Structure 1
Amino acid sequence: MTEAIEQFFATLPDRAPQVLHAPLTGTLRIDLADDGRTQHWVLRMRQGAVDVDQGPVDADAIWYSSMDLFDRLVTGRAHALAALFRNESTFSGRVVLFLAFRQFFPSPPGTRDPREVAREKVRRAR
């Protein structure tokens, strides 16, 4: 397990109030595979909160990913939905949990809010 992944999971409870705004309740298990071993991360999600645990427990949804892909996701070098579409990962269960969870991933390095870019152009044009 990479340090970036460990840090990502450790920060989820503190970040949940800013990310999980919708009335949401459910358990998402994330299975991370690396060298024939699988680590199971369990996220119990509800509006404004998430509890993080580990273990192969029953869940409302299961997302399977390689450790390498997940490291790229938590560092902003990959996009979760694109990874699913390319069959780099798999998902089963309540899709709303995946859609809510992916909001925790950072934007790619160097990404800027398009509204701020437009404001800068307006300021320079004056």
Structure 2
Amino acid sequence: MQQKGRRDGIEDAITDFLERLGRNEIPAAEYLPRRVRGTIRLDLESDSKTDHWFITLDKGKIRVSRDDHQPDAVIRGPRPLFDGLATGEKQFFALFFRNKMIVEGSLGLVDILAQLFPGPPSAHHPRDFVRKTRERSREK
């Protein structure tokens, strides 16, 4: 039996990230513009198959599923690159401009999704930094 977020005994960072995104546990998602609507399909390619994930953005809400929807954008690439995005070790636009990932459809939606992936492990979101700084100054 496979554990959630695990694939063949290897950590599966992108699955864990997408599951957390679907449960609204990704901090950057709270800044999602309310005007954004659309569905993005992620095609995670491995040696033997391609897994499809659908991320629907609708008025500030995010739904993640494996159910087939008509996507407004498609992002296709090797699963290890998506794992790198999910951990912050890789940056989306660097991969995109190096032709490591294929993007079709609405680049506006893709840009919004790219902002939801974490930055490098040592980085922090500027709004979170300001919030923590204000909290510390109030405690003094």
Under a length normalisation based on structure 2, what TM-score does the superposition of the two structures give? 0.74
Equivalent in 81, 87, 98 of residue 99 of structure 2? 87
Equivalent in 44, 53, 58 of residue 32 of structure 1? 44
Classify the secondary structure of the residue corresponding to 1:87: coil
Letter in 1 for 2:44: L
Classify the secondary structure of the residue corresponding to 2:63: strand
Under a length normalisation based on structure 1, what TM-score does the superposition of the two structures give? 0.81
Q: 1:81 and 1:71 mapped to 2: Cα distance?
A: 15
Matched residues, number: 117
Q: 1:114 and 1:19 mapped to 2: Cα distance?
A: 12
> CA offsets, 1:87-110, max 9 Å, x none?
000100011110000111111022
> CA offsets, 1:33-73, max 9 Å, x none?
00131000011111311111114542111000110000000
Q: Runs of 4+ in structure 1 displaced over 2 angstroms?
A: 55-58, 111-116
Equivalent in 6, 9, 20 of residue 11 of structure 1? 20
Task: Assess, with a 3 A threshold, how the Cα gap between structure 1 residues 54 and 112 changes in structure 2: closer, same or farther.
Answer: closer
Letter in 1 for 2:14: I
Q: 2:41 and 2:94 mapped to 1: Cα distance?
A: 19
Identity %: 32
Unaligned runs of 5+ in 1: 120-126
Unaligned runs of 5+ in 2: 1-6, 134-140
